[in-house]
Structure 1
Amino acid sequence: MLKFDEELFLRLVEKEGLQFRGQIEEIVDTISKKGYSNIFMIGAGGTIAMMYPYEYILKSNSTIDVHAEIAAEFLVMNHKHFSKDSVCIFASVSGTTKETLEAAEFCKEKGATTIALVAEPDTPLTKMVDYCITTGSEKHSFDTFFMLLYMFVFRFMYNRNEFPQYEQFTKEVSLLPRAILSAVKAFDKKAEEFAIKHKDTDYHMMVGSGNLWGNTYSYAMCILEEMQWIHAKSIHAAEFFHGTLEMVVEDTSVILLKGEDETRPLMDRVERFAEKITKQLTIIDTKDFAMEGISEEFRKHFAVSINWSVLSRISVYLERERNHSLDLRRYYRKMEY
């Protein structure tokens, strides 16, 4: 597969990523024993998008009060639910994201408990928070972060007596890297075909819902717009029929990210509409992937990781077909703004 080192993936995500389970449990158990009022999941760009699935999971499976907040807005909004008793979770690949650092410093000064997931070691964010999981490599960092966040949020639920299936769930987390690898291999040809077909397409609608809304938002903005300079719009399936549907015509590229949670009927409704109008409908459905060893009840949660991994295959083929490096930027970290 183009730009995919299977051995490296398994080492970083399976072997090294899973080793943090004990550390995460110790962190969560210590916080739970001390007591906390709520959880804030804070990020910027791709990392706030990464938090949205876990906000959804907590809101739909737990009574824990949870807030996913964009770092820059959080700093100015005077959030009335935030206090010294809040638990604040951050993520940053580089450990240097300006808004995330400012938010972490703010939370620390207010006495809140701070946790960070960081890829690069010995960076500002790693030194700023109370607890830090440092994965050590930016390669496959999102795959690893997603997996670590499962461990965090479900441990918090378990300690609240809201998730008795925790032991079985964490056993299946250990199967997730292999399930991701299987999905990537199964989807690779389709990813290449999509990139060849759409290398000159100048606008995409991306539709998602539930725990895949964050991936939808992130892929449209951080990959198609930031990394490929392609016009894109992320649309929540629940809102699609309140405006965006009027922009769909015969040649509109509509990409549906279908998961397996409670919001799937919302995606089915968009699909029924779109297939009547456009000839450029792409459906990426996690139900198409085996996820060997994963229980039916947990598939909906792991759909987040599976979806992100297969989308990443589209990225590398778009990069090749469009001769546009995923690392190319006009402005981001190139100038002051």
Structure 2
Amino acid sequence: MLNFGEERFLRIQSGAVALQARLDAVVGACLAAGAENVFFLGTGGAAILMQPAVQLLQQRSRFPAFLDMPAELILAGAAHLTEKSIVVIPSLSGTTKESVAALARLKEIGATVLTLVGHAETPLGKGGDHVFVNFAEDDTSCESFYLQSLYVALSILKYRGEIEDHDAIVAELSRLPGLLLDVKRAYEPKAEAFARVLAGSDYHIVTGAGNVWPEAFYYGMCILEEMQWIRTRPVHASDFFHGTLELVEKGVSVVLFKGEDALRPLAERVEAFAPNYTDRLTVLDTAEFPLPGLSPRVRALVSPIVLATVLERVSAHLEVLRNHPLTTRRYYKRVAY
């Protein structure tokens, strides 16, 4: 595979799987101690990657789950954030300034903070009440963060008695590192063609629904915009028909991500509409990828993880086609802002 280390990928994703038991124990202890809610407080891309876990809890649990921006929380506060809150802060670098500032405020409040980081010797690596370290890099962090946050959500459901097959689901999830590598290998021959679609326009409408909508948002903002300087319009598939559809015409690129959860029909609605008005609809559907040993329920849960692993292959080809390394920045962490 182009510019890709298979052993490194397996090591990183296996590292995420290995955190499950301790995440489960910490969540169980928090609930036993009287935790009343959970906040996922990431910044930028890391925050987006927490959305599927929050959505799962909001759909399946009566335990209040919140997704907030640290920068806003510091300025405005949050009525539900108390000493009885569990707070999950993801940061690959462990140094994200908005999240570090939020950590100081959380310590004043007395909330229990779980930090998910790639480096231990950092402010967030040292500052959390419970620190979970799994080294990763930009091209491998999505799957790791998606998986860790999913484990947190599943454990909350387990200890509240809101899920019956937690252990079976976790057992299936342990197969993911190898399965994801197989997905990458299988998609590699098609990745360049998708990359050519993205390289062929300076504007894309990127859409999806359900738990793959965050990946559409993430890929548009954090990869195409930040890492490739390609303008995008990420829009949820349900909102597509409340404004964005008026921009669809011949030559306009629409990129649709389809997952396997209950909200798949919202994506199918876009898929039925767009070809009538543009000749540039591109669909990436997780249902097309074999994941032997995973039940339909678990396939639905991991759809955003599968998309992330496929899109990494697309990005590897895209940076070569455009002669624009994914590490190139003009402003991000380069100038004061």
For Structure 1 versus Structure 2, the TM-score category normalised by the shorter chain is over 0.9
- CA distance in structure 2 between the aligned counterparts of 1:254 and 1:145, rounded to whole angstroms: 27
CA offsets, 1:198-226, max 9 Å, x none? Answer: 42410011001111121111111110000
Name 2:151's counterpart in structure 1. Answer: 151
Instruction: Please state if 1:194 is matched with 2:185.
Output: no
More off after superposition, 223-232 vs 50-59: 50-59
Name 2:65's counterpart in structure 1. Answer: 66
Match for 1:11: what amino acid?
R
Match for 2:269: what amino acid?
R
Name 1:116's counterpart in structure 2. Answer: 115
- CA distance in structure 1 between the aligned counterparts of 2:253 and 2:26, rounded to whole angstroms: 44
Name 2:99's counterpart in structure 1. Answer: 100
Q: Structure 2 unaligned runs (5+)? A: none
- SS at 1:136's partner residue? coil
Name 1:21's counterpart in structure 2. Answer: 20
Name 2:244's counterpart in structure 1. Answer: 244
Native 8 Å contact 1:108 1:129 kept in 2: no
Instruction: Please state if 1:278 is matched with 2:278.
Output: yes
Name 1:76's counterpart in structure 2. Answer: 75
Instruction: Please report how far the alpha carbon of residue 189 of structure 1 lies from its aligned counterpart in structure 2 after TM superposition.
Output: 2.1
TM-score (norm 2): 0.97
Cα 1:253–1:36, aligned 2, differ >3 Å: closer, same or farther?
Answer: same
Native 8 Å contact 1:227 1:329 kept in 2: yes
- CA distance in structure 2 between the aligned counterparts of 1:297 and 1:107, rounded to whole angstroms: 35
Q: Structure 1 unaligned runs (5+)? A: none
Native 8 Å contact 2:52 2:150 kept in 1: no
Instruction: Please state if 1:50 is matched with 2:49.
Output: yes
- CA distance in structure 1 between the aligned counterparts of 2:135 and 2:315, rounded to whole angstroms: 23
Match for 1:300: what amino acid?
A
- CA distance in structure 2 between the aligned counterparts of 1:187 and 1:255, rounded to whole angstroms: 17
CA offsets, 1:81-132, max 9 Å, x none? Answer: 2111111101011001111111122112111110011012211101111001
More off after superposition, 182-191 vs 214-223: 182-191
Instruction: Please state if 1:160 is matched with 2:148.
Output: no
- CA distance in structure 1 between the aligned counterparts of 2:282 and 2:245, rounded to whole angstroms: 16
- CA distance in structure 2 between the aligned counterparts of 1:252 and 1:169, rounded to whole angstroms: 40
Match for 2:185: what amino acid?
K
- CA distance in structure 1 between the aligned counterparts of 2:136 and 2:296, rounded to whole angstroms: 32
Instruction: Please state if 1:35 is matched with 2:57.
Output: no
Name 1:330's counterpart in structure 2. Answer: 330
Match for 1:148: what amino acid?
Q
Match for 1:153: what amino acid?
A
Instruction: Please state if 1:319 is matched with 2:325.
Output: no
Name 1:258's counterpart in structure 2. Answer: 258
Native 8 Å contact 1:24 1:152 kept in 2: yes
Cα root mean square deviation, aligned = 1.2
- What does 1:171-320 correspond to in 2, within 5 Å? 171-320=171-320
Name 2:142's counterpart in structure 1. Answer: 142
TM-score (norm 1): 0.97
How many residues matched? 336
